[in-house]
């Protein structure tokens, strides 16, 4: 975990290498109910724009995309035909200003937007007009910009009212390298902008590895995705469970173990000890199609190897040793679940795409096509997970 300014170029390099790594099905999965799946592109939307775009959110009701322009820092709304509906820049001095950069955006119901920025969340209408500035629901010691751009803010509707789930990366409290931090620090908050109410939710469960291990591995950032209504799926990088929550009631609906062959692998250090332990495999992303959840599991180059390489070079992407380590350690697997159990492994067959996956409750999710050359357009892909009819039962 690094600040984006330190990690962006490295991670871009990793993306290219990951796409060449085999994602074979584990032979250890023997459940008769487990099947093999593939990803299938069922539709696409092309946006005529030369700038590099980042897909931020999708609204299934209005069939609109919320998009960030990474060259101009503008925020865009694009419709299902690829036409530009809204374009404004909240990062220049204006009534819409939210700071020089932000940490994430979401649609706010069907009529608005919400921005997660420095110590505040901002509510906008769909014309780009700022409606409200809401302070974080808890005092923050610092703000981290995380690898792989996890969901930092999302909205949902409960009993006709729109609410927001906000991810605060480091609330004030015990030092991060302590048991007290893992036991008491909550990073996810349910917020109602109309009433001003804010409630901590989806905290680490008593049985979580972060609360039972008794040693330090990482901070335990929660990665979440919206399913249907007010239900969210949650994973942590080294926790072996997938958690399903009813956010409105902060009720744990289910905790489903990952298959042993794909569970996180890591070393530990004592609380308070300096340094970072080696981590070999993590849960890296979670996306939902409404009823089902796909968890991405990624192999990592151990920190001890990275430290040794940094003694020789300034840029990891320039190191042949690092490229060799990536080929050795980096793997990428995708696991499919419903609310009750593991369904099977998903083979990625949707081509070369970015790492972000945008959930949609209608049985699909959205990704962004990656191109090896410069294009004057960008393409968003609608992806469905289907049973692999050509595969033998694992």
Answer yes or no: is 75 within a domain. Answer: no
Least confident among 3-7, 198-202, 245-249, 300-304? 3-7
pLDDT tens, residue by residue, 69-109: 999 999 999 999 999 999 999 999 999 999 999 999 999 99
Average pLDDT, rounded, for the chain: 92
DSSP structural state of residue 258: P
DSSP structural state of residue 369: B
pLDDT bracket for residue 148 (50, 70, 90): confident
The owner of tokens 């291990």 is 213
Answer yes or no: is 114 within a domain. Answer: no
Asked whether the predicted pLDDT for residue 267 surpasses 50, the reply is yes
Token code pair at residue 306: 């990275």
pLDDT bracket for residue 279 (50, 70, 90): very high
Q: Are 23 and 355 in contact (CB under 8 A)?
A: no
Token code pair at residue 317: 């992407």
Listed residue (299, 374, 288, 303) closest to 338, CA to CA: 288
Q: What is the pLDDT averaged over residues 302-331?
A: 95
Q: What is the pLDDT averaged over residues 302-307?
A: 96
Q: What is the pLDDT of residue 111?
A: 96
Q: Are 362 and 228 in contact (CB under 8 A)?
A: no
User: DSSP strand E in 259-341: where?
Assistant: 265-266, 279-288, 293-299, 332-337
The owner of tokens 């591995």 is 217
Answer yes or no: is 281 within a domain. Answer: yes
Q: What is the pLDDT of residue 23?
A: 38
Instruction: Provide the whole-model pTM.
Output: 0.91
Q: What is the pLDDT of residue 289?
A: 99
pLDDT tens, residue by residue, 179-226: 999 999 999 999 999 999 999 999 999 999 999 999 999 999 999 999
User: Residue 60 belongs to what H/E stretch?
Assistant: none
Answer yes or no: is 86 within a domain. Answer: no
Q: Are 135 and 119 in contact (CB under 8 A)?
A: yes
Q: Are strands 37-47 and 342-347 parallel, antiparallel or unpaired?
A: parallel
Number of domains in the chain: 1
In what order do the strands lie in the sheet containing 279-288? 265-266, 279-288, 293-299, 332-337, 342-347, 37-47, 378-387, 365-368, 358-359
Q: Are 169 and 176 in contact (CB under 8 A)?
A: no
Q: What is the pLDDT averaged over residues 234-261?
A: 98
Per DSSP, what are the bridge partners of residue 324? none
Q: What is the pLDDT of residue 80?
A: 98
Cα(114)–Cα(104) distance, integer angstroms = 9
Cα(338)–Cα(291) distance, integer angstroms = 6
Q: What is the pLDDT of residue 147?
A: 86
Answer yes or no: is 71 within a domain. Answer: no
Answer yes or no: is 393 within a domain. Answer: no
Token code pair at residue 273: 């000890």
Answer yes or no: is 345 within a domain. Answer: yes
Token code pair at residue 352: 């070369």
Answer yes or no: is 392 within a domain. Answer: no
Q: What is the pLDDT of residue 31?
A: 61
Least confident among 182-186, 298-302, 317-321? 317-321
Q: What is the pLDDT of residue 149?
A: 87
pLDDT bracket for residue 26 (50, 70, 90): very low
DSSP structural state of residue 247: G
Token code pair at residue 119: 């110590």
Which structural domain, as residue segments, surrounds residue 200?
4-50+136-387
Asked whether the predicted pLDDT for residue 1 surpasses 80, the reply is no
Q: Is 156 helix (H, G, I), strand (E, B) or coil?
A: strand
Asked whether the predicted pLDDT for residue 156 surpasses 70, the reply is yes
């Amino acid at each position: 975990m690094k600040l984006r300014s330190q990690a962006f170029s490295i991670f871009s390099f990793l993306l290219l290498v990951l796409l060449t790594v085999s994602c074979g099905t584990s032979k250890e999965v023997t459940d008769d109910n487990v099947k093999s799946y593939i990803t299938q592109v069922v539709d696409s939307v092309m946006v005529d724009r030369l700038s590099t775009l980042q897909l931020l959110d999708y609204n299934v009701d209005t069939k609109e995309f919320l998009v960030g322009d990474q060259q101009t820092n503008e925020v865009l709304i694009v419709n299902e035909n690829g036409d530009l509906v809204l374009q404004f820049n909240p990062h220049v001095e204006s009534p819409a200003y939210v700071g020089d950069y932000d940490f994430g955006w979401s649609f706010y119901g069907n009529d608005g937007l919400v921005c997660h920025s420095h110590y505040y969340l901002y509510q906008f209408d769909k014309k780009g007009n700022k409606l409200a500035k809401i302070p974080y629901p808890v005092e923050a010691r610092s703000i981290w910009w995380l690898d792989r751009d996890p969901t930092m803010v999302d909205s949902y509707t409960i009993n006709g009212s729109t609410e927001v789930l906000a991810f605060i990366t480091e609330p004030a409290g015990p030092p991060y390298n302590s048991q007290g931090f893992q036991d008491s620090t909550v990073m996810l908050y349910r917020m109602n902008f109309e009433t001003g109410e804010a409630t901590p939710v989806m905290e680490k469960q008593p049985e979580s590895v972060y609360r039972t291990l008794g040693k330090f591995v990482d901070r335990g950032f929660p990665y979440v995705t919206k399913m249907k209504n007010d239900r969210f799926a949650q994973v942590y990088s080294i926790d072996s469970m997938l958690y399903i929550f009813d956010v409105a009631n902060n009720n744990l609906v289910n905790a489903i173990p990952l298959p042993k062959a794909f569970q996180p692998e890591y070393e530990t250090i004592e609380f308070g000890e300096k340094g970072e332990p080696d981590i070999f495999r993590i849960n890296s992303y979670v996306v939902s199609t409404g009823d089902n959840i796909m968890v991405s599991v990624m192999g990592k180059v151990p920190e001890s190897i990275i430290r040794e390489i940094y003694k020789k070079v300034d840029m990891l992407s320039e190191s042949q040793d690092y490229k060799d380590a990536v080929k050795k350690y980096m793997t990428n697997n995708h696991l499919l679940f419903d609310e009750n159990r593991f369904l099977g492994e998903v083979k990625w067959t949707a081509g070369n795409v970015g790492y972000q996956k945008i959930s949609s409750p209608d049985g699909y999710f959205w990704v962004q096509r990656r191109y090896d050359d410069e294009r004057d357009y960008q393409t968003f892909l609608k992806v469905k997970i289907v049973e692999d009819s050509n595969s033998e039962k694992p």
